[in-house]
Structure 1
Amino acid sequence: MNRRGVLLVPLLLAGGASAQPAGAFPNRPITIVVPFPPGGLSDVLTRIIGQRMGQELGQTIVVENRPGAGTSVASGYVAQSRPDGYTLLMASNSLATNPTALPHLPPKDPERDLAPIGLAYMSPFILVVRSEFPARSFAEFLAYAKANPGKVNFASSGTGAVNHLALELIKKSAGVALEHIPYRGGAPALIDLRAGRVEAFFATPNDARAQIEDGSFRVLATSTAQRIPQFPDVPAIAETLPGYEAVYWQGLFAPAGTPEPVLQRLIAALLAAKNDPALRADLQARGVAVLPGGPAELRAYLRKETDSWGRLIREANLKLD
């Protein structure tokens, strides 16, 4: 059963936008569909962004969670929804990987079936190991993996998850044999990492914060092209493997065919939300960075991600489920 989120903002905001005339957009609540269960990073941040967009639009925004089928339940639902601006999708990396990994699931052509509104945010990954692990740097990690082929168990949030693909990119770029251990989400992977059942994991900074602060985990590298503010002394993997980058990102989409005036209102509302200093500070405190860019940038970003991850999936002959 689908879980609909709480109403984020009142229909009319005191001192805010005035009531819309009959027929004007929006004159009823808007739904943003999230492809993940409630309580996770995507769900929480979509509610934060949605609330600020609702203030800008003078309308209620509802978050609806539709997890399943590698996020295709949500994205397929939105792609087939009425193109009127009242049903939106907060999509993630899987929109770029599914056409290659899960070509039988909708939407089979996201560029054709969805209208981009804008990029939302990016969360880096950090490569974490237990404090007892022999390697104290990324270079030492690679050296240890090469000396012990197939003996380093590397957890992921699930087969086909972006942190799984980030692992596969290391294997390809560095020529090392790492054993992939998929989990059903990041929480159980972190539990097993702490217990010593696996040796390494790509976590988000927010998810691993407690274990880093209490000394259980050591951070060896970041998955971004450059170092990140939370860990200025931790090198990016790209410093050792030039060109390496693997981040979790999300962008907002509407069904294809949504009228241009409606899209423009949504584009402006998302931009206002991303430019809000309080929202940006909130996301930064969670280890997340606002991504600039409207529909053109999101379309180009999706195409680039689809090409690069699709190539990796084919070359590694990955079987996703």
Structure 2
Amino acid sequence: MTTRRFTRRVLAALALSIAPLALHAAEPLRLVVGFAPGGGVDTLARVTAQALGQELNRTVIVENKSGAGGTIAADYVAKSQPDGNTVLFADTSLLVAPYIYPALRYDLQRDFVTAGMVGQSDLALAVPSNSPIKTVAELVESIRKAPPQTETFASVGVGSLHHLGGELFALKTQTELVHVPYRGGAPASQALAAGEVAMSFASLASSIGLANSGRIRLLATLSERRFPGMPDLPAVSETIPGYSVTPSLFLLAPKDVDPAFIQTLSAALQKSMGQKAVQDAFLAQGSVAAYQDPQATRQWLGDETARWAGVIKDAKLTFKQ
């Protein structure tokens, strides 16, 4: 065989081996979201998808598979082919989901690979605008003086981070609160404005409109630090040390995905979250774009899961489907 013929055969074989890879790379990356279009998580997923598409030079589409607190989407991604075409846009509610849906067929630690932290969404503690309470300290004092089982708080639903935020508040202050669940942030905030409940633990994004119109009063954010978009609003932790409720957003891929894909995706995510346009879009939604690498995100996942398990145990919470 001549050198020229050998070279042609090698090049032909190489072309055949590269062709499937080129086809794979051309396929869209699906960012699967466990909530309906138009909601807070979906909006942030679309901001992230657009930025990732630019960094990866690849089409990134958002695919909504809503229901059961995001567990339908998680189950779908866990069972997807680990081909680098499907990623879960996950949030902290999935850490609590096993206590609410004990029949889950996946495990976050076992069936997924972390690709990095996207950011955090801020929650807020609020009271009706006609309440005399102006600070977290005054609220705690008021609760302690009230008759047992009379101080109510609204949340977006049983088992939500908003609900657990109220339970953690009661544990940290050694007070009694009665949980009143609503179907979503808007109904919960409207109930607070109408005086149906004494306080609410709700997303900052769903509360800020009513606060600006003077119908409710924001007392504090629930995260450890003040929300950058509202630096004059204190954090609960400034009054109650150790208190922190920070719904986080992170990317997960099926467990057997190529490590090179995770490395590429994580690098693109880091650059995406550093874009000013992305940071501004997150702030507009009451959130903060804050990247963490896969290893740090996986450590956080374990620590945060254990922390909320402790809150559920200490508050003696049970969830009925």
When normalised by structure 1's length, the TM-score is: 0.89
CA drift at 1:163: 0.7
Correspondence 1:123-142 to 2 at 5 A: 123-142=121-140
Please state if 1:182 is matched with 2:185. Answer: no
Please state if 1:227 is matched with 2:254. Answer: no
Cα contact 1:96–1:303 (8 A) shared by 2: no
What RMSD in Å do the two structures reach over aligned CA positions?
Answer: 1.6
Give the distance between the partners of 1:87 and 1:240, measured in 2 at CA.
42
CA drift at 1:35: 0.8
Where does residue 12 of structure 2 map in the other structure? Answer: none
Please state if 1:267 is matched with 2:266. Answer: yes
* SS of residue paired to 2:316: coil
Larger Rg: 2
Give the distance between the partners of 1:119 and 1:175, measured in 2 at CA.
33
* SS of residue paired to 1:38: coil
- Tell me the amino acid that sits aligned with residue 57 of structure 2: G
Where does residue 315 of structure 2 map in the other structure? Answer: 316
* SS of residue paired to 2:105: coil
Structure 2 unaligned regions, length at least 5? 1-17
Deviations 1:164-191 (A, max 9, x none): 0100001111111111001111111112
* SS of residue paired to 2:125: strand
The 3 A distance-change label for structure 1 pair 101 and 310 is farther
Correspondence 1:73-112 to 2 at 5 A: 73-107=72-106, 109-112=107-110
Cα contact 2:129–2:216 (8 A) shared by 1: yes
Cα contact 2:188–2:202 (8 A) shared by 1: no
Which of 112, 119, 142 is the equivalent residue of 1:144? 142
Where does residue 302 of structure 1 map in the other structure? Answer: 301
Please state if 1:63 is matched with 2:62. Answer: yes
- Tell me the amino acid that sits aligned with residue 275 of structure 2: D
Cα contact 2:205–2:286 (8 A) shared by 1: yes
CA drift at 1:82: 0.5
Which of 104, 111, 114 is the equivalent residue of 1:113? 111
CA drift at 1:87: 1.1
Where does residue 16 of structure 1 map in the other structure? Answer: none
Deviates more, 1:127-136 or 1:45-54: 127-136
Cα contact 1:27–1:59 (8 A) shared by 2: yes
Where does residue 287 of structure 1 map in the other structure? Answer: 286
Where does residue 164 of structure 2 map in the other structure? Answer: 165
Deviations 1:132-167 (A, max 9, x none): 113111111111111113212200010010010100
Choose between structure 1 and 2: higher helix proportion: 2
Correspondence 1:27-46 to 2 at 5 A: 27-46=26-45
Cα contact 2:269–2:291 (8 A) shared by 1: no
Number of positions where the alignment pairs a residue of Structure 1 with one of Structure 2:
301
Deviations 1:77-132 (A, max 9, x none): 1111111111110111122212344332132x211101100100101211111111
* SS of residue paired to 1:26: helix
Deviates more, 1:217-226 or 1:83-92: 217-226
- Tell me the amino acid that sits aligned with residue 40 of structure 1: G
Give the distance between the partners of 2:312 and 2:158, measured in 1 at CA.
11
Give the distance between the partners of 2:72 and 2:144, measured in 1 at CA.
40
Give the distance between the partners of 2:76 and 2:180, measured in 1 at CA.
31
Where does residue 14 of structure 1 map in the other structure? Answer: none
Give the distance between the partners of 1:255 and 1:311, measured in 2 at CA.
28
Give the distance between the partners of 2:306 and 2:230, measured in 1 at CA.
30
* SS of residue paired to 1:118: strand
Where does residue 17 of structure 1 map in the other structure? Answer: none
Structure 1 unaligned regions, length at least 5? 1-19
- Tell me the amino acid that sits aligned with residue 136 of structure 1: K
Give the distance between the partners of 1:292 and 1:162, measured in 2 at CA.
21
Cα contact 2:157–2:184 (8 A) shared by 1: yes
CA drift at 1:21: 5.9
Please state if 1:251 is matched with 2:250. Answer: yes
CA drift at 1:288: 1.2
CA drift at 1:317: 2.4
CA drift at 1:22: 4.2
* SS of residue paired to 2:69: helix
